[in-house]
Amino acid sequence: MGKLENLALAITNDFQIKHEGDVHNGKVRSVYWLTPEDSKRLTEQRGYKVHPETQLAVMIISDRISAFDVNWKAEEGLHGIPQKGAALNQTSKYWFDEFDRVGLAGNHIVDVPHPLVWIVQKAQPIMVEAISRQYITGSMWRHYDEDDQREFGGVKLPNGLQKNQRLDELLITPSTKGIMRGISGIPEKDDVDITRRQILDNWEAFGFRSPEDVALYEQRLRQGCALADPKLNGVGQIFVDTKFEFGYIRTPQGNWEMIYIDEVLTPDSSRFWDRERYKQGDVVENSKEGFRDFLRFKSGFLSKLFTDKANYDALKIVAEFYRVPVDQFMEVSDTYRGIAKTITGKEVPNIENPRQEILDTLAGYELVA
């Protein structure tokens, strides 16, 4: 298989792809916005069902792993989780196809030329991370148990709940996507918990096209969860919680439509538990939460930073020199590949030379500089 450093694609913002403006390099993806000329050419050549003036982008997913807003690297030059990117793309595309099959809202993907590449249409993002929860666990449980917090997303929970208990109904606990400025009561920092009332009072600032669309995003969030829950149960998984993101695109007819963007129902954006083990009183994570648990409880000196919430900022400094054991990265790889196969019914492809494969693929789209 070669050197460990070749097993994962960690750097994705340096491809020689023809694009316009800066490359947007996110936690796990890089986005190359295409010129109007290339966008129009591909739309016509490949028959993409988008508005003729839609800007397209090449989105490359890496094998990087982010936790607590920090990207982590392993020992021996392994700077990503082998096959993680392909597992995420495969899982997310499966759910988008399921949404299309039953007539839910569309999404931003117009083409999948390679397991690590999407061609997407540009959307006007809604600046809300739409988080929904079916069980009380993770940070929500810690606030409930340790801080005696009972209100989440403007909804008050009863006393007496137990850790990892299923809630009586789906709970929506939105947070900000990016930094919102100039809104009373909302700190100017990323990922701030907000209420439905705050969204309604500031719907334009959050990117909604009408106040009625606040209810529409909630409806589509609930529809996505309602589809996922029984399907996951059918493959032996419990759907615990997830995050959706939404945006607006213009349809080929010129109308504005709210769609799903980013990724959906992946082990990066969701929690899944093994159903049979849960029945036995044991929680087995089939998502990134297992890696977070390693950092919090099993990483030696690093875990001490989690004993005080104020030390979270130190993680960004520590991550510059701390290296995760290789076997831990390989364990995460097993988890991601395993849950992708469980959900989609297909093996995750083994990509041996991702950089060259991506360039060869995009050369066929006349996008290599």
Structure tokens at 103: 């007539």
Characterise 354 by phi-psi region: left (phi > 0), alpha (psi -120 to 50), beta (else).
Answer: alpha
Q: What is the pTM of this model?
A: 0.95
pLDDT in tens, 188-212: 988 899 999 999 999 999 999 999 9
Return the pLDDT at 249: 98
Residue 1's pLDDT band, with cuts at 50, 70 and 90, is: very low
Could you give the percent of the chain with pLDDT greater than 70?
98
What domains sit in the chain, N to C, each tagged with a CATH number? 4-123+346-363 (3.30.200.20), 125-279 (3.30.470.20)
Angle in degrees, CA 217, 219, 225, rounded to 5: 105
Alpha-carbon span 207 to 123, nearest angstrom? 11
For residue 46, what pLDDT is reported? Answer: 97
The predicted structure's pLDDT at residue 339:
98
Computed over every residue of the chain, the mean pLDDT equals 94
Give the pLDDT confidence of 218-260 residue by residue, as tens digits.
999 999 999 999 999 999 999 999 999 999 999 999 999 999 9
Q: What is the CA 327 to chain-centroid distance, rounded?
A: 24
Are 54 and 250 contacting, i.e. CB atoms less than 8 angstroms apart? yes
Given a cut of 80, whether residue 311 has pLDDT beyond it is no
> In the chain, how long is the greatest CA-to-CA distance?
60
Sorting pLDDT into bands at 50, 70 and 90, what band is 173? very high
Decide if 232 contacts 37 (C-beta within 8 A). no
pLDDT in tens, 64-94: 999 988 999 999 999 999 999 999 999 999 9
Strand partners of residue 74: 324
Looking at residue 308, what is its pLDDT?
A: 57
Element (DSSP H or E) covering residue 135? strand 128-135
Residue 304 has pLDDT above 90, yes or no: no
In this predicted structure, the answer to whether residue 287 has a pLDDT above a threshold of 80 is: yes
Q: Is 335:237 a contact under the CB 8 Å cutoff? A: no
Pairing of strands 237-250, 151-152: unpaired
How far apart, in whole angstroms, are the C-alpha atoms of residue 91 and residue 263?
9
Collapsing DSSP to helix, strand or coil, 24 comes out as strand
